[in-house]
Structure 1
């Protein structure tokens, strides 16, 4: 498979490294509107062809599939152009800025019969995949309650750099610079972690968003610091189970951690993933009476990059698809509306 990388920012480097490890994948082209950046990126990763426009790359045309690692607002027009050209696409999250655009992208890919996939990176976590398999096998019975969190601490720690001086972080705090805060940045990840792990769709959502005071006048230079730093969601899942999902950049002591707890009428499962690794724990069978939890071996799973390459070769549509990401975007859009109106909203039902 000959791969074109569209966009050459920080995350594009991860795509280049990961795809370079997949047998049979050749990085043949890169695209970025910034000539200096695309030249440097291509030199770093040994990519022979580089372009400053997608149109030029399409005119060249000697690639089989595309990793779309452009900024969020650029996903929609570039992916539609790639679908029209018949190219399979692995798109970074979120699929689009809102559900209407995400739905248009999913519909276009489905009508064209194009392989499409969204890089929800935490599908690479083996304990999450094992937890889902256990749920679907009925090992914890009917799920009644779900807890999920995505905790970061870069507003109180300089582990990732100083947000007060680095535009890479400042734009994420400013609505005027295209950010929808922690909801837009990691909301889709933790919603997928929760609903995919539980094997359930989401029927209803209530949300609260909060941007805390961070600087004098809540401004640093050109950046108004008005994007949400924390959110809490109350969810009702498709089987009637209740869920609590939350995320924050103020979670002191947690550099980057996802946690999922699933409670059924026959047992419980917990998944934890952070920079130290991943863990799967379960309370099952006769252990339920005395609340004894055991750590389980989840094995390993292929990465999204491997699965996308396999799908392009086989022609079999992989998950998570554009449609799945569009359904999650619908929940995120409704969460924003629910927060503004202080009311619970019905999603119309989403897939798992």
Structure 2
């Protein structure tokens, strides 16, 4: 049996989501998290102690000067993805970056160009590519199983602003920063809107061509402020979308969807069939209505094969020296749609051509 080549990983940003990265790497043969980077010494120390990380740094530059790592997970807040990733790419390091790739298309495209120029493995952690139903649905659409896509409806529903299933949003920093643009949040649009846009367009096999969007921030505290956090990031997003293949539909996301802890759904309809793709209560499910069931509207469950996670595919790509998707170029394409959503909302929800 061959022994997997060792890979040394640096994790940049050691807040809540960093644990998922560290645990995923710890489960892989030959992969070691060798260092952590964070400006908050308490957060960094706690992360290092929990995950047995030997080296810690207060800046990316200090970690690069040390240099004893091969690949990086960037788990920093959205607004510093660009600033923290660019030096790593210049240093020739492979990077898996959390989503959204950046806060605007210019930064995202700069990251994609730099990654391509450096010739390193680059990947955006769009975690719902880990869902078997998603990957099988994309394969079925690409195979022509439901014909030409005509219409879709997609949603990403969370309820952590109405029920404390994951913690107290109004007292814990890991939630409060997600409600504050000053602290690097792009709101529900950047946090989970990017997921449902990828979920939809990846399965449909077409990108967003134009959209109109309404973003809304609800009153959640007196004066919209809790401590150092101004709660101005959007809580709900509703988009009317047309894809590059002409299909039209609606995409919406909310943190106020009571009863839905973390649920995604896409219903997509073609000229010869339809698919219903779900990730609900941590269960993946795919249903289809195809010929001859199409004539009587019968939907049936489909078996779906297991898939490798983004973390595994990233490390495999680092070891083999091959590229992997979703890459930074995909992140930049999605950022065009996010930018269009923001522009539409600011312009009385008018229709905006993407890009």
TM-score band (shorter)?
over 0.9
- 1:347 corresponds to: 354
User: How far 1:25 moved relative to its partner?
Assistant: 1.3
Partner of 2:24: helix, strand, or coil? helix
- 1:135 corresponds to: 141
Residue range with higher mean Cα deviation, 99-108 or 64-73 = 64-73
Alignment of 1:106-121 (within 5 A): 106-121=112-127
Distance 2:330 2:34 in 1: 29
Taking structure 2 as the reference length, the TM-score comes to 0.94
Distance 1:330 1:202 in 2: 9
Distance 1:306 1:212, change over 3 A: same
Instruction: Please state if 1:231 is matched with 2:237.
Output: yes
Instruction: Please state if 1:299 is matched with 2:305.
Output: yes
Per-residue CA deviation, residues 124-151 of structure 1 (Å, 9 max, x unaligned), is 0000000000000000010100111000
Partner of 2:61: helix, strand, or coil? helix
1:10 to 16, 26, 31: 16
- 2:325 corresponds to: 319
- 2:184 corresponds to: 178
Distance 1:16 1:247, change over 3 A: same
Instruction: Please state if 1:62 is matched with 2:63.
Output: no
**Is this contact kept in 2: 1:125–1:278, CA < 8 A?**
yes
- 2:292 corresponds to: 286
Partner of 1:3: helix, strand, or coil? strand
Taking structure 1 as the reference length, the TM-score comes to 0.95
**Is this contact kept in 1: 2:157–2:257, CA < 8 A?**
yes
Distance 1:314 1:285, change over 3 A: same
Residue range with higher mean Cα deviation, 269-278 or 97-106 = 269-278
In the alignment of these two chains, the number of paired residues is 348
Moved over 6 A (4+): none
Residue range with higher mean Cα deviation, 261-270 or 217-226 = 217-226
Per-residue CA deviation, residues 176-219 of structure 1 (Å, 9 max, x unaligned), is 33322211211111100000011111111110111223333333
Per-residue CA deviation, residues 84-112 of structure 1 (Å, 9 max, x unaligned), is 10011001111111111111110111112
Unaligned runs of 5+ in 1: none
- 1:255 corresponds to: 261
Partner of 1:243: helix, strand, or coil? strand
**Is this contact kept in 2: 1:262–1:269, CA < 8 A?**
yes
Distance 1:167 1:61, change over 3 A: closer
User: How far 1:319 moved relative to its partner?
Assistant: 0.3
User: How far 1:53 moved relative to its partner?
Assistant: 2.2
Partner of 1:144: helix, strand, or coil? strand
- 1:212 corresponds to: 218
- 1:336 corresponds to: 342
- 2:4 corresponds to: none
What is the CA RMSD across the aligned residues, in angstroms? 1.4
Residue range with higher mean Cα deviation, 44-53 or 82-91 = 44-53
Residue range with higher mean Cα deviation, 294-303 or 27-36 = 27-36
**Is this contact kept in 2: 1:22–1:305, CA < 8 A?**
no
Residue range with higher mean Cα deviation, 45-54 or 125-134 = 45-54
- 1:27 corresponds to: 33
Distance 1:337 1:213, change over 3 A: same
Partner of 1:288: helix, strand, or coil? helix
Distance 1:325 1:147 in 2: 22
- 1:266 corresponds to: 272
Distance 1:183 1:22, change over 3 A: same
Distance 2:223 2:12 in 1: 38
Distance 2:34 2:228 in 1: 38
- 1:195 corresponds to: 201
Distance 1:59 1:226 in 2: 38
Distance 1:7 1:214 in 2: 27
User: How far 1:35 moved relative to its partner?
Assistant: 3.0
- 1:159 corresponds to: 165
